A and B are shown apart, each in its own frame.
Chain A
Amino acid sequence: MIKIENLHKSYQTGANSLHVLKGLNLNIKEGELVSIMGSSGSGKSTFLNILGILDEADEGKYLLDGVPIKNLSEKKAANYRNKFLGFIFQSFNLIGYKSAIDNVALPLYYQGMKRAERLDRAMQYLEKVGLADWATHLPNQLSGGQKQRIAIARALASDPKVLLADEPTGALDTKTSYEIMNLIQEINDEGKTILVVTHEEDIAEMTKRIVHLRDGVIIKDTPVQQKRALDYV
């Protein structure tokens, strides 16, 4: 599903050049649940941004579902993000003045789907994350865990190939974190490919494969025995 070869990325800060990613190679197959671990500054956020087509690598190859991601126009990039990727952010990033269901329907809006159909689809995903009763609530009327569920529903709404989660539990307490991880595991069980960036050991252990990143190189890439989040809730 994701094929990375010899990926390089550096940032220009004044006169200095900061080499953030130094030749990454990674292969992720369909249906995997992978966590990317590393301390801050290890390059994991940059890596995720490149995977999310929000940023572009200086060098190397990136194939997403067989499609080369290289030199895309902004329009094309937006199109690919919409079609291939679903984003889950640490700070949820819901749009404050839109109700839960409108937030979930937003990616479908950018697909040009009709309003009625869009809201119908959005409702299905709200039911999936267990928040159908909260459809008309604004984000600030919801708890952190609920907000993240809405965000997950939104990420799923356009039925993307890959879910990219950037510290999805970073702003949540342990119990809520496990609930969210449980939801992510359930979605993965249905066959969705998911990447989770985290620095929390226990969260990483709930995935099926851990990729360790340090100073821009992959130092360890190991499959793990998945711990079911449900056992801890």
Chain B
Amino acid sequence: MFNRDQWDEILESLSSNWFRTIMTAFGVFWGIFILVILLAAGNGLGNGVKSNFSGLATNSMFMWSQPTSISYGGLNKGRRYNFKIGDVDAIKRNVKGLKIVSPRNRLGGFGGDNNVQRGLKKGAFNVYGDYPQIIEQQPMDITAGRFINQIDIDNERKVAVIGYSVVNELYTADEEILGTYVKINGVNFQVIGVYEKKGMRGQDVEEASKEIIVPFSTYGKAFHTGEDVGFMSITADDDHTITELKQEVFDVIKKRHRIAPEDNRAVGNFDLYQQFKKINGLMTTLNAVAYFVGILVLLSGIIGISNIMLIVVKERTNEIGVRRALGATPWSIKSQVLSESIFLTIIAGMAGISFATGVLWIANKYLDQIESDSIMFADPSVGLGAIITALLILVVSGLLAGFIPAQNAIKIKPVDALRTE
């Protein structure tokens, strides 16, 4: 169907009125441009939000104890209790589908007193008692030395891995860090590693890295928490979501601590997976809106093409009559009109996609420069899939745009078409 003659015919008729052709094409150009930009903006926002989760085990929840709200088993309501280290094994045993159960303890906090000292320098930092597997749930880059390991736990070694913000506050530049000691609440810990938290953008990394991690067992001894567990970070395996498993976890805790089964306040939790799903849902919605608006804008461009094709067909009624007298079949007339409208649509669409890509390229360059600022927007781009979708939409819309005009072109009888001047 697409031989050289057909191309000649298409180019001849499109170039017979350049201004009109370009004005018509602009509608589609603009439509696809808007569509691509909207999709890219949606992606950019998505990337920005997701980068806050990057590397984080999103199929996770945090769980902490709260005062009971129902009296049960002879115990008053409002009773405070603590998770115990034994709960961890109980949860692992009784709940199938969990990947990691990390008991954690925390000392200090935002705005707390200075709890860490090194020589003359002091600072207030979060100090965590942790097991080594925490690194799989809260990703971090070890920039020097090593992370805590099982031997540290077993031997209750007084070692610490410190965040790089701690280094900034307690050490002078060029100072050797590994092997030095920091005093946490009066207990000396040897620094064995430095880390930087991943998945945080801009200023957050600074704040998030104001942390010190020590072995869980050492923490219990040093700060007199014994068997107590402050909170837990629990991750489900890939076949389960934490949202469907968390009630089972709560049930184990409630049983072991004599809490009423219907007491929903006794175990506090933050379900990261649910949050993540919500954000994902929001992104899907945003994407749908982008497609919806983009396609509507594109539609008005297509209607423009359809309109012009109607006029072109009207103008060329006599020519169509002549062609039919010379032996043009209805299909050849129809395919001529259709291919003109598809050609115009695709060329205009390609131009729109290219232009949008150029704009995105410039936007990306600009965004790279201001990346240190914590804006929730990153790497606005569209995937190949979206481009292919857009092209498919273009071909279909070109067909749609040409369909009615093409039908009009052959509706009129040859004898009447010939009579039209």
> Interface residues of B toward A: which range?
20 to 34
Residues of A within 8 A of B (CB): 49, 52, 54-55, 74-75, 78-79, 81-83, 87, 89, 91, 93, 95-98, 106-107, 109-111, 115, 154, 158
A75-B330 contact given A49-B415, A54-B418, A115-B4, CB 8 Å threshold: yes
Across the interface, which residues of B come within 8 angstroms of A107, CB to CB? Answer: 326-327
B415 and A95 contact, CB distance less than 8 A: no
The reply to whether A81 and B326 form a contact with Cβ atoms under 8 Å apart is yes
Residue of B nearest to A55 (CB): B415
Which of A82, A89, A98 sits near B327, CB closer than 8 Å?
A: A82
Q: Cβ of B328 < 8 Å from any Cβ of A?
A: yes
Tell me whether B327 and A95 are in contact (CB under 8 A): no
Within 8 A of A (CB), among B314-335: 318-319, 321-332
**A109 neighbours in B (Cβ, 8 Å):** 5
Chain B residues within 8 Å of A89, by CB: 322, 418
A74 proximity list for chain B (CB < 8 A): 329-330, 410
Nearest-Cβ distance from residue A12 to partner chain B, whole angstroms: 14
Q: Output the nearest chain A residue to B332 by Cβ-Cβ distance.
A: A110
Nearest Cβ distance between residue A163 and chain B, in whole angstroms? 13
Instruction: Specify which of B4, B323, B331, B418 is in contact with A106 (CB 8 Å cutoff).
Output: B323
Once the chains bind, are B326 and A154 in contact (CB under 8 Å)? yes
Report whether B325 and A81 are in contact in the complex, using a CB–CB cutoff of 8 Å. yes
CB-based contact A83/B415 at 8 Å: no
Residue B13 CB within 8 A of the other chain: yes
- In addition to A93-B318, A97-B12, A110-B326, 13 A-B residue pairs with Cβ atoms within 8 Å of each other are A54-B413, A54-B414, A54-B418, A74-B329, A74-B410, A75-B330, A78-B327, A82-B327, A87-B325, A89-B418, A93-B418, A106-B323, A107-B326
Q: Assuming A81-B326, A87-B325, A110-B327, is B16 touching A97 (CB within 8 A)?
A: yes
In the complex, chain A residues whose CB is within 8 Å of the CB of B413 = 54-55
For B396-421 the 0/1 string (1 means CB < 8 A from A) is 00000000000000100111001001
List, in ascending order, chain B residues with CB within 8 A of A93's CB. 318, 321-322, 325, 418
Residues on B with beta carbons closer than 8 Å to the beta carbon of A91: 421
